[in-house]
Structure 1
Amino acid sequence: MVAGLNLKLAGIQQNGEYAMYRPASAPIEMPVTERIAHAGETLFLEGDPCDYVYELREGIARGVNFMASGERQISAFFFSGDQIGLPLGDRYRYTAEAVTELRYVLHSRSGWNEAFLRNCRDGGQFLQSIGAEQDPIFRRGIVIGRHGLLVRICAFLMVMIDRLPSDGENFVFPLTQSDIAAYLATTPESVCRGFRQLREMGALATPKRDRLRILDREIIESIASGADHWGI
């Protein structure tokens, strides 16, 4: 670990696990009907009226912004337990798409606001839901601000893997190289080279297209922290 590196400023807990700080969403206690979205399906569009809050029950979603040039940037990934599309304004601030099949429930804007006000009177834990939606976007700024692509890839892995489902030996890793590239503001080819380098270093393996096995977490942590002894 680099001496004097302010990991707390980077949102990283110095507890040996290299986990990112993440506020938990407060559950919404309202009658709901569970819905399903298939991979690639759009939940809501950036700029549309913010009429509903989406509470994810299972699966992975991505938050996407489109530039005037048509360039697609992924600003965040969201997981089971997250609430997205919170009514912080009149319109959605990003497009939400299903990465995998999603199970989710919808809460009307008015119902969410009423639940929020009730919760604030009872202690304010609902405020954590706002932090939980904003946190992945904040973390992306930290990740892509790192110097060097391999450092950014390792930082990305460290903020992702503890939220990924596992089949015991491997993490379920349905993210494509194009998605990772859109998140890291690079190219799929560069992502491919970075993962190949990590495999050659013995840090990870990809036994299947959608599986990721961490072989040496310390290597990934060390590179993510910016340690200079890797020569990158």
Structure 2
Amino acid sequence: MGWRHVVGESQALSEAEAIWRRLGLAWCLWLTLSTPALGQAVEIGGSIGTAARGSEGALVRSPWHPSPGVYANVAWTQRVETTLRVVWVQLGSRQGMSGYFNGCEPGRPDCRPAVAYYIVERSTAPWMFVTGSAHYYFRPREIVRPFLGLGVGVSRDSMHVTCEAATANCDRVAGAFRLGRRVSLQRDTVAIAGVAATFKRNYIGRATVNFHRPGGEDSSLFEAALTLGYRF
């Protein structure tokens, strides 16, 4: 008899997510090629925000969590800038569990196998996002300027994976599962909207909404943030 999985099927990349990624790459490429080669100003700063995970049927399906971040950007013209941003979503302590059994095929009416052991994932690490984006500003010469943007990047999460015995021991599990610390990386696409304001000539404040991985179903993230930076 072979070990069989009860829950935890991995999901394939959705078509909607792939379309969003191509749009993000095309947007960044178009803005880069259509602006001068030398930047006019460099800005560095930080952000405070809050973020919540989404699902296929709901934009927000989980509690909101703090999401501090840092960023650097280059303003190429009064309308166009590119930004590199890192944000950490503080999810707190979390745990996931998958049950495995040894027996007949699931779904048969005469099949009632007991769970043999559980694979448990625990983590207290923040969910980290690294994003490169391009923003287009409307009303560029005004103090308050709305903008839209698209970005691409990666997200990183880490878990500690253990085996807990139920009706069988875990002696043979290590060869079939990667126990211990497990780091996962996912490609990220971000839709961005916000408004920026200039204070005392060199200070830039922004209120932004970032929708990470639209079309990514339960791995999507909705984030609202306030940023403050100094422009050199």
Larger Rg: 2
TM-score, normalised relative to structure 2: 0.24
TM-score, normalised relative to structure 1: 0.24
**Between structures 1 and 2, the one with greater helix share:** 1
**Between structures 1 and 2, the one with greater strand share:** 2
